[in-house]
A and B are shown apart, each in its own frame.
Chain A
Amino acid sequence: MADGKAEGVKKRKSFEAEALQHMEALYRTALRMTKNESDAEDLVQEAYVKAYRFWDRFEPGSNCRAWLFKIMTNIFINEYRSKTRSPMSVNVDELDDNFLYGQLAVDQTTRNPEQELFSRIFDDDVKKAVESLPDDFRLVVVLAFLEGFSYQEIADIMDLQLGTVKSRLHRGRKLLQKGLWDYAIKNGYIKGTTK
């Protein structure tokens, strides 16, 4: 009995030392996944509860952060996704590669033409543009851009083929650039002002 208790304390300590430090990252990603603070908090809590229950299956020394993201992503996909599914409003295949560059590059003589564009994209616009991406693209985009996971890590987290990750990220990136362009226009950016 005493051994069991000591074992429990040890488990809790190792979990707190290794897993809890990733809460800020999990939460900011949960915010972009669920699109609201309350669901994001619930999602993070569920992820930690599940992770703690399965802590004995975590291999010490392996990537705890990726493991936690895998747990949380699975919960999101299974329990939250249907509530937040968003319709695809743009046909991604009609968008050019390097979409923003294509819009900007009106005059090669201007230095840093992107700066004027950035000044018309307000702080929350990027988050909103990401949140308006269809789920499949959004998850990959968030894991890559916000958390810096590699293609392979994302494939492992989402149980996808590497090629699927690349294709979703590519399409997600194009859609995101289109979304940012729309925000910039809405916020008063006038195409060609960088001349």
Chain B
Amino acid sequence: MNCQEALSLLYEIIDKEASEINVNEVQRHREQCQHCFEVYRVEMAIQDFINKKLKDGNPSGSLEALKAKVSLKLDEIDGQQTAKENHPFFRRTTAVLAAAASLVILIGGAFFLRDLYWHQTEYLPLEQAHVAIADDPTTFVNDAGTFSTILRVRDELGYDVSASVHGFSLIGGQHEEIMGVAMAHFVYSHDNEIVSVFVVPSEWFEISDDLKDSQVVRNQIIFFDHYCRGCHLVFHKAGLAVVVTATTDHNIELLDFIPGHTII
């Protein structure tokens, strides 16, 4: 092995990537060649110096705090998963996506939407309505009932139903009675996914405290980006409240399902 060959293997040897044969041959050459011996020695010293300086002196104080933060994040993920597991409805919808808009034509009594969002173990009428559709979207057909529902939300609430949103097509809409409140339910689907949208007059809509924590303002729209099992987002504006639910793809921009408020 000559000097040129020996030096061409320098960094492979320093990086411990050279074959044993090459390592041995270079070793033999170095023992006989002072120049190569010195190049190798200095380059190895430089490499050790660099590696050591890179490793040493990094802020270790913040590591404990970082560990705690990561733990919290993991707790959050665990919490979401536990909630999902506790509700078989939402597990069954993983292959489907539906969008439904429902118009509240109220039937008396103090009824607050926040009750629908009672997290822990309570019965969730909106989610249940959504899941029932997700389980069997064929119950929704784009027929005369859908048409009359579209007209009612438009005329009474000024809510224009979109025929399609980001590839999701409206597959139907109907009035439903949920906890004594009549609602119009529109369903959108795309592939096997379903998103639900619920529309409510604001006077029947009260934001619960835990939802308030999730208040977000975007494009001058106040909404509550909230994860509660499948119920994902609440949209709120004067005179009208819209609840959008999606059970599967959490990356869907649910706000875009609200006509006239497409978020860029």
Q: For the complex, what is the distance from the CA of A18 to the CA of B50, rounded to whole Å?
A: 29
Tell me whether A52 and B77 are in contact (CB under 8 A): yes
Give the A-B pair count, Cβ closer than 8 A.
Answer: 115
Q: For the complex, what is the distance from the CA of A79 to the CA of B17, rounded to whole Å?
A: 32
Tell me whether B11 and A104 are in contact (CB under 8 A): no
Tell me whether B57 and A100 are in contact (CB under 8 A): no
A103-132 near B? 1/0 per residue, CB < 8 Å: 011001000111000100101111100100
Contact partner of B67 among A23, A53, A169, CB < 8 A?
A: A23
Q: For the complex, what is the distance from the CA of A53 to the CA of B78, rounded to whole Å?
A: 10
Residues of A within 8 A of B57 (CB): 123-124, 127
Residues in B51-75 with C-beta less than 8 Å from chain A = 51, 53-60, 62-63, 66-67, 69-70, 73-74
The reply to whether the CB of A145 lies closer than 8 angstroms to some CB of chain B is yes
In this complex, how many residues of chain A approach chain B with their Cβ under 8 Å: the count is 52
The reply to whether the CB of A76 lies closer than 8 angstroms to some CB of chain B is no
Residues of A within 8 A of B74 (CB): 12, 15, 48-49, 52
Residue of B whose beta carbon sits closest to that of A144: B15
Tell me whether A98 and B63 are in contact (CB under 8 A): no
- Selected interface stretch from A1-9, A58-66, A87-95: A1-9
The reply to whether the CB of B39 lies closer than 8 angstroms to some CB of chain A is yes
B80 to chain A, nearest CB (A): 10
Q: For the complex, what is the distance from the CA of A108 to the CA of B37, rounded to whole Å?
A: 11
Q: For the complex, what is the distance from the CA of A20 to the CA of B74, rounded to whole Å?
A: 11
Tell me whether B85 and A4 are in contact (CB under 8 A): yes
Contact partner of A100 among B7, B10, B42, B81, CB < 8 A?
A: B42
| Secondary structure class of chain B's binding surface, majority of residues | helix
The reply to whether the CB of B45 lies closer than 8 angstroms to some CB of chain A is yes
Tell me whether A8 and B50 are in contact (CB under 8 A): no
Contact partner of A49 among B38, B46, B73, CB < 8 A?
A: B73
Tell me whether B62 and A12 are in contact (CB under 8 A): no
Tell me whether B73 and A8 are in contact (CB under 8 A): no
The reply to whether the CB of B24 lies closer than 8 angstroms to some CB of chain A is no
Residues of B within 8 A of A101 (CB): 39, 42-43, 46
Q: For the complex, what is the distance from the CA of A170 to the CA of B55, rounded to whole Å?
A: 20
A162-195 near B? 1/0 per residue, CB < 8 Å: 0000000110010011001000000000000000
**Contact-residue size bin, chain B (C-beta under 8 Å from the other chain):** 35 or more
Tell me whether B51 and A8 are in contact (CB under 8 A): no
Tell me whether B81 and A8 are in contact (CB under 8 A): yes
The reply to whether the CB of B142 lies closer than 8 angstroms to some CB of chain A is no
Residues of A within 8 A of B55 (CB): 28, 146
Q: Which residues of B are at the interface with A, using a C-beta cutoff of 8 A? A: 7, 10-11, 15-17, 34, 38-39, 42-43, 45-47, 49-51, 53-60, 62-63, 66-67, 69-70, 73-74, 77-78, 81-82, 85-86
**Chain A to chain B: the 10 pairs with minimum beta-carbon distance, closest first:** A126-B53, A4-B85, A28-B58, A146-B54, A48-B70, A101-B42, A114-B45, A49-B73, A114-B42, A145-B51
Q: What 9 additional pairs, Cβ within 8 angstroms, besides A31-B59, A41-B62, A101-B43?
A: A44-B70, A97-B7, A100-B46, A101-B46, A112-B45, A121-B49, A123-B57, A126-B50, A180-B46
Q: Which residues of A are at the interface with B, using a C-beta cutoff of 8 A? A: 1, 4-5, 8, 12, 15, 20, 23-24, 27-28, 31-32, 37, 41, 44-45, 48-49, 52-53, 97-98, 100-101, 104-105, 108, 112-114, 118, 121, 123-127, 130, 142, 144-146, 148, 150-151, 169-170, 173, 176-177, 180
| 12 intermolecular pairs with C-beta atoms under 8 Å apart | A23-B67, A27-B62, A27-B63, A32-B54, A44-B70, A45-B70, A52-B74, A52-B77, A98-B43, A126-B50, A150-B15, A177-B46
